[in-house]
Amino acid sequence: MSKLKLSLTTQIVIAVVLGIIFGTVVGDWAGNLKFIGDIFIRLIQMSVVLLVMTSVISAIGEMARGDEENKLGLKVGLHTFFWIIFATLLAAGLGFVLASIVRPGDGMQITEAYVASDTATLGFQETITNFVSTNIFSAMATADMIPIIVFSVLFGLGLNQWIKKSGDTLILDVVKQLNNITLNVIQTVMKIAPLGIFALLANVAGTIGLAVIGPMIKYLGILFVGVAIVMIVMVLITAAICKVNPALMPKKFLDMSMIALTTTSSAITFPTALKDTIEKFGVRRDIANFTMSVGMTMGSAGAAMSYVIMILFMQQASGVELPALKLVVGIFLAVMLTLGTITVPGGSAVVATFLATSLGLPVESIALIIGVDWFAGMFRTFLNVNNDVIVSMLVANSVDALDRDVYNGKKSVNAEVE
Protein backbone atom coordinates (compact mmCIF):
# COMPACT_ATOMS: atom_id res chain seq x y z
CA MET A 1 0.00 0.00 0.00
CA SER A 2 1.51 3.32 -1.07
CA LYS A 3 2.24 5.96 1.52
CA LEU A 4 -0.05 9.00 1.52
CA LYS A 5 2.05 12.09 0.84
CA LEU A 6 0.62 15.48 1.71
CA SER A 7 2.03 18.66 0.24
CA LEU A 8 3.50 21.25 2.60
CA THR A 9 0.55 23.54 1.87
CA THR A 10 -1.93 20.82 2.85
CA GLN A 11 0.04 20.07 6.02
CA ILE A 12 0.01 23.75 6.98
CA VAL A 13 -3.74 24.08 6.39
CA ILE A 14 -4.31 20.99 8.57
CA ALA A 15 -2.00 22.45 11.23
CA VAL A 16 -4.00 25.70 11.23
CA VAL A 17 -7.30 23.88 11.76
CA LEU A 18 -5.94 21.50 14.40
CA GLY A 19 -4.06 24.29 16.20
CA ILE A 20 -7.19 26.44 16.50
CA ILE A 21 -9.30 23.48 17.66
CA PHE A 22 -6.68 22.26 20.14
CA GLY A 23 -6.09 25.73 21.61
CA THR A 24 -9.81 26.41 21.93
CA VAL A 25 -10.39 23.09 23.72
CA VAL A 26 -7.45 23.13 26.18
CA GLY A 27 -7.37 26.89 26.77
CA ASP A 28 -4.40 28.50 28.51
CA TRP A 29 -2.49 25.21 28.76
CA ALA A 30 -1.72 25.51 25.03
CA GLY A 31 0.73 28.25 26.00
CA ASN A 32 3.11 25.47 27.06
CA LEU A 33 3.59 24.65 23.36
CA LYS A 34 4.51 28.18 22.34
CA PHE A 35 8.24 27.51 22.67
CA ILE A 36 8.01 25.11 19.69
CA GLY A 37 6.60 27.90 17.54
CA ASP A 38 9.24 30.30 18.85
CA ILE A 39 11.97 27.90 17.74
CA PHE A 40 10.43 27.71 14.26
CA ILE A 41 10.32 31.52 13.98
CA ARG A 42 13.93 31.83 15.19
CA LEU A 43 15.11 29.30 12.62
CA ILE A 44 13.65 31.52 9.91
CA GLN A 45 14.97 34.71 11.48
CA MET A 46 18.54 33.46 11.62
CA SER A 47 18.58 33.00 7.82
CA VAL A 48 16.86 36.24 6.82
CA VAL A 49 19.90 38.55 7.02
CA LEU A 50 22.10 36.34 4.83
CA LEU A 51 19.26 35.69 2.39
CA VAL A 52 18.48 39.39 1.93
CA MET A 53 22.14 40.35 1.55
CA THR A 54 22.97 37.66 -1.00
CA SER A 55 19.73 38.24 -2.94
CA VAL A 56 20.33 41.99 -3.31
CA ILE A 57 24.05 41.70 -4.05
CA SER A 58 23.62 38.94 -6.64
CA ALA A 59 20.69 40.71 -8.35
CA ILE A 60 22.65 43.95 -8.80
CA GLY A 61 25.92 42.20 -9.61
CA GLU A 62 24.19 40.09 -12.26
CA MET A 63 23.29 43.21 -14.24
CA ALA A 64 26.91 43.52 -15.31
CA ARG A 65 26.61 40.54 -17.64
CA GLY A 66 24.90 42.58 -20.34
CA ASP A 67 21.91 40.43 -21.22
CA GLU A 68 20.36 40.95 -24.64
CA GLU A 69 17.24 42.48 -23.08
CA ASN A 70 19.28 45.55 -22.13
CA LYS A 71 19.69 46.37 -25.86
CA LEU A 72 15.98 46.94 -26.42
CA GLY A 73 16.35 50.63 -25.79
CA LEU A 74 16.08 53.19 -23.06
CA LYS A 75 12.48 54.11 -23.90
CA VAL A 76 11.18 50.56 -23.51
CA GLY A 77 13.07 50.15 -20.24
CA LEU A 78 11.84 53.42 -18.76
CA HIS A 79 8.22 52.77 -19.73
CA THR A 80 8.41 49.24 -18.32
CA PHE A 81 9.75 50.39 -14.97
CA PHE A 82 7.31 53.32 -14.83
CA TRP A 83 4.23 51.14 -15.23
CA ILE A 84 5.57 48.44 -12.90
CA ILE A 85 6.22 51.03 -10.19
CA PHE A 86 2.87 52.74 -10.86
CA ALA A 87 0.92 49.50 -10.40
CA THR A 88 3.01 48.54 -7.37
CA LEU A 89 2.40 51.87 -5.62
CA LEU A 90 -1.30 51.74 -6.52
CA ALA A 91 -1.62 48.26 -5.01
CA ALA A 92 0.41 49.15 -1.91
CA GLY A 93 -1.56 52.35 -1.34
CA LEU A 94 -4.91 50.60 -1.75
CA GLY A 95 -3.79 47.82 0.59
CA PHE A 96 -2.90 50.43 3.21
CA VAL A 97 -6.28 52.18 2.88
CA LEU A 98 -8.31 48.95 3.04
CA ALA A 99 -6.35 47.52 5.99
CA SER A 100 -6.63 50.84 7.84
CA ILE A 101 -10.40 50.90 7.36
CA VAL A 102 -11.22 47.22 8.01
CA ARG A 103 -8.41 46.67 10.58
CA PRO A 104 -8.12 42.87 10.18
CA GLY A 105 -5.79 42.46 13.16
CA ASP A 106 -8.08 44.07 15.72
CA GLY A 107 -9.26 41.77 18.49
CA MET A 108 -6.26 39.45 18.32
CA GLN A 109 -4.45 40.76 21.43
CA ILE A 110 -1.67 38.30 20.78
CA THR A 111 0.87 39.88 23.10
CA GLU A 112 -0.27 42.06 25.95
CA ALA A 113 3.22 42.22 27.46
CA TYR A 114 4.84 43.54 24.30
CA VAL A 115 6.67 46.83 24.55
CA ALA A 116 8.15 48.40 21.44
CA SER A 117 11.93 48.43 21.45
CA ASP A 118 12.13 52.05 20.36
CA THR A 119 9.07 53.87 21.60
CA ALA A 120 10.56 57.29 21.04
CA THR A 121 9.47 58.85 17.77
CA LEU A 122 12.49 59.66 15.64
CA GLY A 123 12.63 62.76 13.50
CA PHE A 124 12.91 62.62 9.72
CA GLN A 125 16.62 63.44 9.60
CA GLU A 126 17.52 60.92 12.30
CA THR A 127 15.45 58.23 10.61
CA ILE A 128 17.21 58.77 7.29
CA THR A 129 20.62 58.88 9.02
CA ASN A 130 19.89 55.53 10.66
CA PHE A 131 19.49 53.99 7.21
CA VAL A 132 23.31 53.91 7.13
CA SER A 133 25.21 51.90 9.71
CA THR A 134 28.71 52.70 10.93
CA ASN A 135 29.40 48.97 11.19
CA ILE A 136 27.74 46.45 8.87
CA PHE A 137 28.58 43.57 11.21
CA SER A 138 26.80 45.34 14.05
CA ALA A 139 23.76 45.81 11.79
CA MET A 140 23.86 42.11 10.88
CA ALA A 141 24.13 41.08 14.53
CA THR A 142 21.04 43.10 15.46
CA ALA A 143 19.17 42.31 12.21
CA ASP A 144 18.88 46.03 11.44
CA MET A 145 17.52 45.40 7.96
CA ILE A 146 17.50 48.84 6.33
CA PRO A 147 21.25 49.49 6.81
CA ILE A 148 21.85 45.93 5.64
CA ILE A 149 19.94 46.59 2.42
CA VAL A 150 21.77 49.90 1.88
CA PHE A 151 25.13 48.17 2.31
CA SER A 152 24.06 45.30 0.03
CA VAL A 153 23.00 47.72 -2.72
CA LEU A 154 26.34 49.56 -2.51
CA PHE A 155 28.27 46.29 -2.44
CA GLY A 156 26.28 45.04 -5.43
CA LEU A 157 27.01 48.22 -7.38
CA GLY A 158 30.70 47.93 -6.54
CA LEU A 159 30.68 44.29 -7.61
CA ASN A 160 28.87 45.25 -10.80
CA GLN A 161 31.57 47.78 -11.70
CA TRP A 162 34.33 45.30 -10.83
CA ILE A 163 32.88 42.65 -13.15
CA LYS A 164 32.55 45.15 -16.00
CA LYS A 165 36.15 46.23 -15.47
CA SER A 166 37.85 42.88 -14.90
CA GLY A 167 35.43 40.29 -16.23
CA ASP A 168 36.03 38.32 -13.02
CA THR A 169 32.76 36.84 -11.73
CA LEU A 170 34.27 34.77 -8.90
CA ILE A 171 32.81 36.87 -6.08
CA LEU A 172 29.41 37.01 -7.80
CA ASP A 173 29.44 33.24 -8.18
CA VAL A 174 30.30 32.80 -4.49
CA VAL A 175 27.49 35.16 -3.45
CA LYS A 176 25.02 33.30 -5.67
CA GLN A 177 26.09 29.98 -4.16
CA LEU A 178 25.61 31.41 -0.66
CA ASN A 179 22.16 32.55 -1.74
CA ASN A 180 21.30 29.07 -3.01
CA ILE A 181 22.55 27.46 0.20
CA THR A 182 20.52 29.88 2.33
CA LEU A 183 17.42 29.11 0.26
CA ASN A 184 18.03 25.41 0.91
CA VAL A 185 18.30 26.12 4.64
CA ILE A 186 14.94 27.89 4.60
CA GLN A 187 13.37 25.09 2.57
CA THR A 188 14.61 22.64 5.20
CA VAL A 189 13.25 24.78 8.04
CA MET A 190 9.87 25.00 6.29
CA LYS A 191 9.52 21.23 6.62
CA ILE A 192 8.72 21.76 10.30
CA ALA A 193 6.40 24.68 9.55
CA PRO A 194 3.23 22.65 10.28
CA LEU A 195 4.51 21.83 13.77
CA GLY A 196 5.56 25.41 14.49
CA ILE A 197 2.31 26.86 13.16
CA PHE A 198 0.26 24.33 15.16
CA ALA A 199 2.04 25.40 18.35
CA LEU A 200 1.73 29.14 17.67
CA LEU A 201 -1.94 29.01 16.71
CA ALA A 202 -2.78 26.69 19.60
CA ASN A 203 -1.28 29.33 21.90
CA VAL A 204 -3.21 32.17 20.22
CA ALA A 205 -6.49 30.23 20.14
CA GLY A 206 -5.98 29.17 23.76
CA THR A 207 -5.74 32.85 24.71
CA ILE A 208 -8.53 34.41 22.63
CA GLY A 209 -10.52 31.37 21.44
CA LEU A 210 -12.38 31.24 18.13
CA ALA A 211 -11.95 35.00 17.72
CA VAL A 212 -8.81 34.07 15.79
CA ILE A 213 -10.92 33.03 12.77
CA GLY A 214 -12.30 36.52 12.13
CA PRO A 215 -8.92 38.18 11.47
CA MET A 216 -7.97 35.39 9.04
CA ILE A 217 -11.14 35.90 7.00
CA LYS A 218 -10.76 39.69 7.05
CA TYR A 219 -7.10 39.44 5.96
CA LEU A 220 -8.04 37.36 2.91
CA GLY A 221 -11.14 39.45 2.20
CA ILE A 222 -9.17 42.69 2.10
CA LEU A 223 -6.63 41.15 -0.27
CA PHE A 224 -9.37 39.81 -2.57
CA VAL A 225 -11.18 43.15 -2.76
CA GLY A 226 -7.92 45.05 -3.26
CA VAL A 227 -6.78 42.77 -6.10
CA ALA A 228 -10.14 43.14 -7.83
CA ILE A 229 -10.05 46.94 -7.60
CA VAL A 230 -6.46 47.22 -8.90
CA MET A 231 -7.25 44.90 -11.82
CA ILE A 232 -10.31 46.94 -12.80
CA VAL A 233 -8.37 50.22 -12.59
CA MET A 234 -5.41 48.90 -14.62
CA VAL A 235 -7.69 47.39 -17.28
CA LEU A 236 -9.56 50.69 -17.68
CA ILE A 237 -6.30 52.67 -17.87
CA THR A 238 -4.97 50.27 -20.51
CA ALA A 239 -8.18 50.41 -22.53
CA ALA A 240 -8.11 54.21 -22.51
CA ILE A 241 -4.43 54.59 -23.41
CA CYS A 242 -4.20 51.72 -25.90
CA LYS A 243 -7.67 52.38 -27.35
CA VAL A 244 -8.84 48.77 -27.10
CA ASN A 245 -12.09 47.17 -25.96
CA PRO A 246 -11.76 46.20 -22.26
CA ALA A 247 -14.64 43.72 -22.57
CA LEU A 248 -12.34 41.40 -24.56
CA MET A 249 -9.74 41.14 -21.80
CA PRO A 250 -11.38 38.73 -19.31
CA LYS A 251 -11.53 35.89 -21.84
CA LYS A 252 -7.94 36.55 -22.93
CA PHE A 253 -6.78 36.41 -19.30
CA LEU A 254 -8.61 33.13 -18.61
CA ASP A 255 -5.90 30.53 -19.33
CA MET A 256 -3.07 32.27 -17.48
CA SER A 257 -5.39 33.18 -14.61
CA MET A 258 -6.42 29.56 -14.07
CA ILE A 259 -2.77 28.47 -13.95
CA ALA A 260 -1.88 31.35 -11.62
CA LEU A 261 -4.77 30.58 -9.25
CA THR A 262 -4.08 26.84 -9.08
CA THR A 263 -0.26 26.92 -8.89
CA THR A 264 0.24 30.27 -7.06
CA SER A 265 3.47 30.56 -9.07
CA SER A 266 4.38 33.35 -11.48
CA ALA A 267 7.28 31.27 -12.80
CA ILE A 268 5.05 28.32 -13.71
CA THR A 269 2.49 30.66 -15.30
CA PHE A 270 5.16 32.57 -17.26
CA PRO A 271 5.28 30.44 -20.47
CA THR A 272 1.49 30.59 -20.92
CA ALA A 273 1.37 34.29 -20.05
CA LEU A 274 4.15 35.12 -22.53
CA LYS A 275 2.50 33.10 -25.30
CA ASP A 276 -0.90 34.72 -24.72
CA THR A 277 0.63 38.21 -24.52
CA ILE A 278 1.87 37.77 -28.08
CA GLU A 279 -0.93 35.68 -29.59
CA LYS A 280 -4.00 37.13 -27.84
CA PHE A 281 -3.04 40.65 -26.78
CA GLY A 282 -1.01 41.55 -29.88
CA VAL A 283 2.23 42.62 -28.21
CA ARG A 284 5.26 42.34 -30.48
CA ARG A 285 7.49 39.41 -29.57
CA ASP A 286 10.65 41.31 -28.58
CA ILE A 287 8.69 43.72 -26.38
CA ALA A 288 6.78 40.86 -24.77
CA ASN A 289 9.98 38.93 -24.06
CA PHE A 290 11.54 41.90 -22.29
CA THR A 291 8.56 43.26 -20.38
CA MET A 292 7.26 39.86 -19.26
CA SER A 293 10.73 38.74 -18.11
CA VAL A 294 11.24 41.93 -16.11
CA GLY A 295 7.67 41.71 -14.85
CA MET A 296 8.11 38.18 -13.54
CA THR A 297 10.99 39.39 -11.37
CA MET A 298 9.91 42.91 -10.47
CA GLY A 299 6.23 43.22 -11.39
CA SER A 300 4.69 42.09 -8.13
CA ALA A 301 1.79 44.45 -7.46
CA GLY A 302 -0.11 41.65 -5.73
CA ALA A 303 2.83 41.00 -3.43
CA ALA A 304 3.15 44.72 -2.63
CA MET A 305 -0.48 44.87 -1.55
CA SER A 306 -0.13 41.68 0.48
CA TYR A 307 3.02 42.89 2.28
CA VAL A 308 1.48 46.24 3.23
CA ILE A 309 -1.59 44.46 4.61
CA MET A 310 0.80 42.16 6.53
CA ILE A 311 2.42 45.15 8.23
CA LEU A 312 -0.87 46.64 9.36
CA PHE A 313 -2.21 43.22 10.36
CA MET A 314 0.79 42.55 12.62
CA GLN A 315 0.69 46.09 14.02
CA GLN A 316 -3.03 45.89 14.79
CA ALA A 317 -2.79 42.36 16.19
CA SER A 318 -0.05 43.41 18.60
CA GLY A 319 -1.83 46.58 19.69
CA VAL A 320 1.30 48.62 18.95
CA GLU A 321 0.90 52.11 17.54
CA LEU A 322 3.74 52.71 15.12
CA PRO A 323 4.78 56.32 14.45
CA ALA A 324 3.65 57.58 11.04
CA LEU A 325 7.23 57.83 9.80
CA LYS A 326 7.92 54.22 10.77
CA LEU A 327 4.80 53.10 8.90
CA VAL A 328 6.08 54.94 5.83
CA VAL A 329 9.42 53.13 6.19
CA GLY A 330 7.56 49.82 6.47
CA ILE A 331 5.56 50.49 3.31
CA PHE A 332 8.77 51.51 1.53
CA LEU A 333 10.35 48.20 2.56
CA ALA A 334 7.28 46.29 1.39
CA VAL A 335 7.49 47.93 -2.03
CA MET A 336 11.24 47.35 -2.28
CA LEU A 337 10.79 43.67 -1.47
CA THR A 338 8.57 43.26 -4.53
CA LEU A 339 11.38 44.44 -6.82
CA GLY A 340 13.14 41.14 -6.22
CA THR A 341 10.65 38.90 -4.48
CA ILE A 342 12.10 35.94 -2.59
CA THR A 343 10.53 33.01 -4.43
CA VAL A 344 10.94 30.06 -2.08
CA PRO A 345 8.39 27.76 -0.48
CA GLY A 346 7.11 29.69 2.50
CA GLY A 347 8.40 32.96 1.06
CA SER A 348 5.75 34.86 2.98
CA ALA A 349 7.16 33.50 6.22
CA VAL A 350 10.49 35.07 5.32
CA VAL A 351 8.89 38.35 4.26
CA ALA A 352 6.65 38.57 7.34
CA THR A 353 9.61 37.84 9.61
CA PHE A 354 11.71 40.43 7.80
CA LEU A 355 9.02 43.11 8.12
CA ALA A 356 8.29 42.32 11.77
CA THR A 357 12.00 42.42 12.61
CA SER A 358 12.56 45.66 10.70
CA LEU A 359 9.66 47.45 12.40
CA GLY A 360 10.16 46.00 15.86
CA LEU A 361 6.84 44.14 15.86
CA PRO A 362 6.20 40.81 17.64
CA VAL A 363 6.10 37.76 15.40
CA GLU A 364 3.27 35.70 16.89
CA SER A 365 0.79 36.80 14.22
CA ILE A 366 3.08 35.42 11.50
CA ALA A 367 1.51 32.00 12.10
CA LEU A 368 -1.85 33.27 10.86
CA ILE A 369 -0.25 34.81 7.77
CA ILE A 370 1.56 31.58 6.91
CA GLY A 371 -1.54 29.55 7.68
CA VAL A 372 -3.64 31.25 5.00
CA ASP A 373 -0.76 31.98 2.63
CA TRP A 374 -1.86 29.52 -0.04
CA PHE A 375 -5.16 31.36 -0.42
CA ALA A 376 -3.42 34.74 -0.29
CA GLY A 377 -0.94 33.43 -2.85
CA MET A 378 -3.78 32.78 -5.29
CA PHE A 379 -4.80 36.44 -5.21
CA ARG A 380 -1.21 37.73 -5.27
CA THR A 381 -0.20 35.62 -8.25
CA PHE A 382 -3.39 36.45 -10.16
CA LEU A 383 -2.62 40.16 -9.94
CA ASN A 384 1.12 39.75 -10.50
CA VAL A 385 0.69 37.77 -13.73
CA ASN A 386 -2.23 39.67 -15.26
CA ASN A 387 -0.67 43.03 -14.46
CA ASP A 388 2.54 41.97 -16.23
CA VAL A 389 0.48 41.53 -19.41
CA ILE A 390 -1.15 44.93 -18.91
CA VAL A 391 2.28 46.55 -18.49
CA SER A 392 3.44 44.79 -21.65
CA MET A 393 0.49 46.25 -23.59
CA LEU A 394 1.13 49.76 -22.29
CA VAL A 395 4.83 49.58 -23.17
CA ALA A 396 4.09 48.12 -26.61
CA ASN A 397 1.62 50.92 -27.28
CA SER A 398 4.27 53.53 -26.41
CA VAL A 399 6.64 52.23 -29.11
CA ASP A 400 3.95 51.35 -31.68
CA ALA A 401 4.42 47.62 -31.12
CA LEU A 402 0.81 46.71 -30.26
CA ASP A 403 -1.11 44.95 -33.04
CA ARG A 404 -4.79 45.75 -32.50
CA ASP A 405 -5.86 43.34 -35.23
CA VAL A 406 -4.41 40.51 -33.16
CA TYR A 407 -6.07 41.88 -30.03
CA ASN A 408 -9.43 42.09 -31.79
CA GLY A 409 -9.10 38.56 -33.18
CA LYS A 410 -8.85 39.66 -36.81
CA LYS A 411 -5.30 38.36 -37.22
CA SER A 412 -3.32 35.46 -35.78
CA VAL A 413 0.36 35.22 -34.90
CA ASN A 414 2.54 32.42 -33.60
CA ALA A 415 4.49 33.16 -30.44
CA GLU A 416 6.86 30.26 -31.08
CA VAL A 417 7.40 29.79 -27.36
CA GLU A 418 9.15 26.54 -26.64
Q: Is the confidence at residue 211, as pLDDT, over 60?
A: yes
More confident: 106 or 59? 106
Answer yes or no: are the C-beta atoms of 190 and 8 closer than 8 Å.
yes
pLDDT computed for residue 205 by the predictor: 76
Q: How confident is the model at residue 119 (pLDDT cuts 50, 70, 90)?
A: very low
pLDDT, residue 74, reads 65
Q: Which of 24-33, 184-193, 343-352, 389-398 has the lowest mean pLDDT?
A: 343-352
* SS3 per-residue string spanning 29-94: HHHHHHHHHHHHHHHHHHHHHHHHHHHHHHHHHHHHHCCHHHHHCHHHHHHHHHHHHHHHHHHHHH
Query: Whole-model pTM?
Result: 0.69
**pLDDT computed for residue 64 by the predictor:** 55
Most confidently predicted of 75-79, 218-222, 230-234, 254-258: 230-234
What CATH number matches the domain at 8-407, 1.20.5, 1.10.3860, 1.20.1280, 2.40.10? 1.10.3860
Q: Answer whether residue 120 shows pLDDT above 80.
A: no
Find out whether 362 and 111 touch, Cβ atoms under 8 Å.
Answer: yes
Please state the rounded mean pLDDT for residues 288-306: 80
CA atoms within 13 A on the CB side of 121: 7
* Cα–Cα distances in angstroms (integers) from residue 246 to residues 61, 236, 264, 401, in the given order: 40, 7, 25, 18
Model pLDDT, residue 117:
40
Q: How confident is the model at residue 229 (pLDDT cuts 50, 70, 90)?
A: very high
Q: What was the pLDDT predicted at 369?
A: 75
Residue 227's pLDDT is 95
Mean pLDDT computed over 258-277? 78
Give the pLDDT band (50/70/90) at residue 347. low
Contact 385, 273 (CB under 8 A): yes
Cβ–Cβ under 8 Å, residues 88 and 234 = no
pLDDT in tens, 238-249: 999 999 999 999
**What is the mean predicted confidence (pLDDT) over 342-361?**
68
Confidence band for 342, pLDDT divided at 50, 70 and 90: very low
pLDDT of residue 127: 60
Pick the residue with more confidence: 70 or 259?
Answer: 259
- Whether pLDDT at 334 is above 90: no
Quick one: pLDDT band at residue 114, thresholds 50, 70, 90?
A: very low
Is 187 a residue whose pLDDT tops 80? Answer: no
Mean pLDDT across 246-273? 82
Measure the CA–CA gap between 396 and 237, rounded to whole angstroms: 14
Considering 44-53, 108-117, 404-413, the range whose residues carry the highest mean pLDDT is 404-413
How much of the chain, in percent, has pLDDT values that exceed 70? 82
The reported pLDDT for the residue numbered 331 is 83
pLDDT greater at residue 389 or residue 106: 389
Q: Where are the alpha helices (DSSP H) in 168-323?
A: 170-189, 193-208, 213-242, 249-263, 266-279, 285-298, 301-318
pLDDT score of 269: 79
Least confident of 133-142, 165-174, 380-389: 133-142
How far apart are the two ends of the chain, measured CA to CA in Å? 39
153-176 pLDDT, tens digit each: 889 889 888 988 888 889 989 998
Q: What is the dihedral of CA 225, 228, 229, 234, to 10 degrees?
A: 160
Q: Would you state the pLDDT for residue 228?
A: 96
pLDDT band per the 50, 70, 90 thresholds, residue 376: confident
Look at residue 146 and give its three-state secondary structure: helix
Q: Does the structure show a pLDDT above 50 at 343? A: no
Which pLDDT does position 72 carry in this prediction? 47
